[in-house]
Each structure stands twice: as C-alpha cells, then as structure tokens.
A = this chain, B = another copy of it.
Amino acid sequence: MDEFLIKFSGKKSKYKELQEHIKHLIISGALPHHYKLPSIRKLANKLDVNPVTIVNCYKSLEREGYVYTISGGGTYVIADNNLTNLNEDFIDQSSTHNIKYDLASSSPSPLFFPVKTFKNLLNEVLERDGGFAFNYQESEGYLPLRQSLQSLLTEYKIKVSHHYIHVITGGQQGLDVIAKTLLQEGDYVFTEEPCYPGAIATFSSRGAKVIGIPIREKGIDLVILEKELKKYNPKFIYVMPDFQSPTGYLYDLTHRKKLLELANKYSFTIVEDDHFADLNYSQTKLPPLKALDINDNVIYIKSFSKVFMPGLRLALLVAPPLFNEPLQEAKQFSDISTSGFLQRTFDLYLRKGLWNEHVNKVKLIYQRRCQSMLSALERHFPSCVKFSKPQGGLSIWVQLPEILKAKELQKVALKKGISITIGDDFFIQRKENFFRLSFTNLSEKEIEKPIKELASIIKGML
C-alpha cells in the first residue's frame, strides 16, 4: 500500500489532500477496478493521521462515485465503465438528448395549468394585501387558507379542525417533517415496496432502517406486514392507498380497514400520502385512511403538485393531536413558513370554488390518455411483459421478464428520442426489470408511436 503514502502540503485539510491523491490513483488506473482500499485503521496508522480523516476521505470518494462500500466489508474502487458513466447518470435526460416522447416525467402537463385564472388571482391578492402578501407567514400556514382547506377536506370525508391542518411546502416537505418528528437513528420504518424513492431517501437520511412490504393490486400484503410487525416495532408505515406510486394500485376497503386495525393493535403511526386520489378514473371512490381514523393514528398529506401545479410547492398535512405541536415545530425549523403570497392566492382559488371544475377537467384528459396508452400496450407489447391497469394516477408500471434490464431498454429508447423512468430506485431490495410509463405529456394520438417503438426494442432484446 505504498502508493497511498503522501506528504501533506498543509494547504488543504488532510482528508482533502488524501482524497485528491486517491482520486488520481483511480483515474490514472494505478488502482484496478474493484481494488480493495486499505482499512481505515491501517491507513490512519501508516499516514499517522486521525482515523476520522480517512473516514471522511473515503466517504467523500464514495459520494463522488469513485469507490463503493460493502457494508461491514470495506471500500472498493468502482469499475471503470461505471466511472465514465458517472456523469451521464446525473444529467437531466431531456436536456442532453433530443426527447420527442417524454414518458418519464410524471408531473402534470403545464398545458392544462389554469394560468390565466391564477394570474388574475395573483394580481387580486397584491391589490388587496400589498406588501403584507410578501411578509413571513405563520409556520402552520395562512389562517384563511387553513380554513378553506378544512372545508375542502370535508369533501373527502375528513372532518378536522383547521387547528390540525398545516400548510407545507409540498408533499416532500411533509415526509421530511414527519421524519424529523418521529424518527431517530436506528428506528424502523415500513414502506410499500416498490415505493416513491424520495420517501425512502428522506427516511434513510434520518438514520432509519426502511423495510419494504410488497404491494399487491388490492393493497399492501397484510400477511407479510403482520409477520414483520411481530419482528420489528416500526415508528410508522408510509402508504399511498390511492394509486400507489409507482404501481398505480388502489387499496380496497378491506385493506384500508385492516391496516388501521393493525396500527391500533401494534401501536404504530400511519403516514398516508395522497397525491393522486383526485385523479380517479373509476366510478368508486373510497374514503382515505384519515377519514376512517377514529384512533388518531394517521398523519395525512395531500399534495397539490400532481393535480394542480407543482411549482406552487403547496401541500397540506393533517396531524393527530399528539403530533400537532412537534410537527409544526419541525416545519418551522425546516423553512420557517411556506410562501404567504402563494398561500393567499391558492386560498382565493379555493374560495372562488374553482377547484372542482379544474379537477374534473384534468381528470377527463388524463383518463383518456391512460386508456389510450393501455390499449397501445395491449396491441404492441409482447405477452411476457406485464403492466398495471391503473384506475387513476398518471402512469403505468411495467414489468419485463427477469432476464431483461430496464436500464438497457432506457438507453436504447433514449437514442430514439423516448424517455422512460426505470424502476431500480423504487425498490429497497433492488430489482432491475421494472419501469414506469407516464401518459401525462402526450396526447391520445401521440401515445401509440413511442409505445410501438418501445415494443420493438423489447422484442429485439428478448
């Protein structure tokens, strides 16, 4: 390990100097692929530095993608081809390739945002409130908006005082604030698997251990869930009963009720993430868990990103009394308050009764796009490829035969101007043969062509 011997110049901190040195060894090829770096203790002794210096150095190298670690088993040089691909992975697909068909992004189409109406309301708020619209707002949210949200929630059968309704800067902030309030290093959290990666990352970054419970067409697998509940004591379980992301599955009433029963029996909190309940293309509308939550076990998040406009960064959180104060404090220390200007405008939007009209409009559009994509999939995809038939939401979840990798498909598709989202990051126990197709950004007529193209790429891979 003599190649690691360096003389510190003292110009930078030691770990940075060492890091530069090792980077150079890797890039120059002096350290072969999968080479095991010396142990922390050994290298610290050899260089006569604090072990913390080595830890920081290795961590930074890992962050930058030069090495990988095997838990409990050391630190290794990454393979060269990964190294050169490194940046490609980070680059926004649409900006580097010429994307003609965006099936990757599951945010709603900006073409259907109510821009004109909203613009009038923005102006109305500024006429009315002047500079006060741009002042700090209360951490829990602008009171009139919280009152409007209280009445909006009754439409979903959630009866709760505005006192327990918090305005947050998007659903993602809800997850962050909940993690801060409920989780400590080493705690367990259950999620559906596959699951929204932003949730997994947030919970993990708090030091929690995330355990995935398989999601089935009618809801989370209750048998496996109860088995795991006997083994672990999770602080909460994170679920999306309405059109789960990424599968689009819908919990039936039995699954909803049973989950609430288990929460009571095993004393855990349920975090219900409602992103899509409004985009329900079926005839049946089931109550959210929060509406059935007589025991105050559910923290409910409703985001306005997918149904309305993500750039507003607005969502609501309903807290059980027990967590009301701590959640509000965590919100306060996250970003003090959500933009009062946007809160005031959204409040006007709700008060003028414009919400339902908008929801009905976009629901119809996306329902048609969904059907159009489903029928294209049926016509063109080989039968060994399975896909969900969602009754709501903005995307379809596709499973390739196990021998195929979604990543390969993605690469080839990209060259033909089609972007898709691969499923790898949605899994805690990594699986590589899933991907997600969103139907938000293509008109009914446009959808067939890229699906046909994807089908022919898949057939070529088989």
Residues of B near A170 (CB, < 8 A) are: 335-336
Stretch of A130-138, A274-282, A442-450 contacting B (4+ beta carbons < 8 Å): A130-138
Evaluate contact between A176 and B110: CB separation under 8 angstroms: no
Within 8 Å of chain B (Cβ to Cβ): is A70? no
Q: Given the complex of chains A and B, what is the CA–CA distance between A92 and B332 in angstroms?
A: 14
Which stretch, A197-205, A212-220, A239-247, A418-426, touches the partner chain B? A197-205
A402 sits at the interface (CB 8 A): no
Chain B residue with minimal CB distance to A16? Answer: B322
Does A122 count as interface, using CB distance less than 8 angstroms?
Answer: yes
A456 CB within 8 Å of chain B? no
Q: What mask results when residues 9 to 53 of chain A are scored 1 for a CB within 8 Å of chain B, else 0?
A: 001111110010000000000000000000000000000001011
Q: Which residues of B contact A13 (CB under 8 A)?
A: 264, 267, 295, 297
- B342 & A63 in contact (Cβ 8 Å cutoff): no
Q: Is the CB of B135 within 8 A of A310?
A: yes
- The reply to whether A333 and B136 form a contact with Cβ atoms under 8 Å apart is no
Q: Does A119 contact B (CB under 8 A)?
A: yes
Of B122, B297, B333, the residue contacting A202 (CB under 8 A) is B333
Q: Chain A 317-341 against B: per-residue CB contact (8 Å), 1 yes, 0 no?
A: 0000010011001101111111111
> Cβ of A462 < 8 Å from any Cβ of B?
no
> Are B176 and A335 touching (Cβ within 8 A)?
yes
Of the candidates A56, A115, A126, A334, the one having the most CB atoms from chain B within 10 angstroms of its own CB is A334
Tally chain A residues at the interface, Cβ within 8 Å.
78
Question: Are B326 and A311 in contact (CB-based, < 8 A)?
Answer: no
Name the interface residues of A52-77: CB closer than 8 Å to any CB of B: 52-53, 56, 60, 63-64
On chain B, the residues within 8 Å of A169 by CB distance are 169, 313, 335
**A383 within 8 A of partner (CB):** no
A113 at the interface (CB under 8 A from B): yes
Q: Which residues of B contact A355 (CB under 8 A)?
A: none
Copy total for this chain: 2
Name the interface residues of A329-365: CB closer than 8 Å to any CB of B: 329-330, 332-342
The A262-317 residues at the B interface (CB cut-off 8 A) are 264, 267, 295-297, 305, 309-313
CB distance from A361 to the nearest CB of B (A): 14
Residues of chain B within 8 A of A135, CB atoms compared: 107, 110, 309-311
A173: interface (CB < 8 Å):
yes
Most chain B Cβ neighbours within 10 Å, of A63, A295, A339: A339
Nearest-Cβ distance from residue A159 to partner chain B, whole angstroms: 19
User: Are A11 and B333 touching (Cβ within 8 A)?
Assistant: no
Say whether A267 contacts B185, CB under 8 Å: no
Contact of A176 among B14, B126, B131, B333 (CB under 8 A): B333
Distance, CA A340 to CA B19, complexed state (A):
36
Cβ contact within 8 Å between A334 and B333: no
Known contacts A115-B126, A172-B335: A133-B63 contact under CB 8 Å: no
A161 CB–B CB distance under 8 Å: no
Residues of B within 8 A of A113 (CB): 130-131, 134
- Is A82 in contact with chain B by the CB < 8 A criterion? no
Q: Is A112 an interface residue (CB 8 A)?
A: yes
- Nearest 8 Cβ contacts at the A-B interface: A110-B131, A113-B131, A134-B311, A134-B309, A13-B267, A311-B340, A173-B335, A136-B310
Q: Which chain A residues have a beta carbon within 8 Å of chain B's beta carbons? A: 11-16, 19, 50, 52-53, 56, 60, 63-64, 90, 92, 107, 109-113, 115, 118-119, 122-123, 126, 130-138, 169-170, 172-173, 176, 180, 184-185, 198, 201-202, 205, 207, 233, 264, 267, 295-297, 305, 309-313, 322, 325-326, 329-330, 332-342
Given contacts A119-B122, A134-B309, 15 further A-B contacts (CB under 8 A): A12-B264, A13-B297, A19-B322, A56-B267, A109-B131, A110-B131, A134-B311, A135-B309, A136-B310, A136-B311, A170-B336, A198-B336, A201-B333, A311-B340, A334-B335
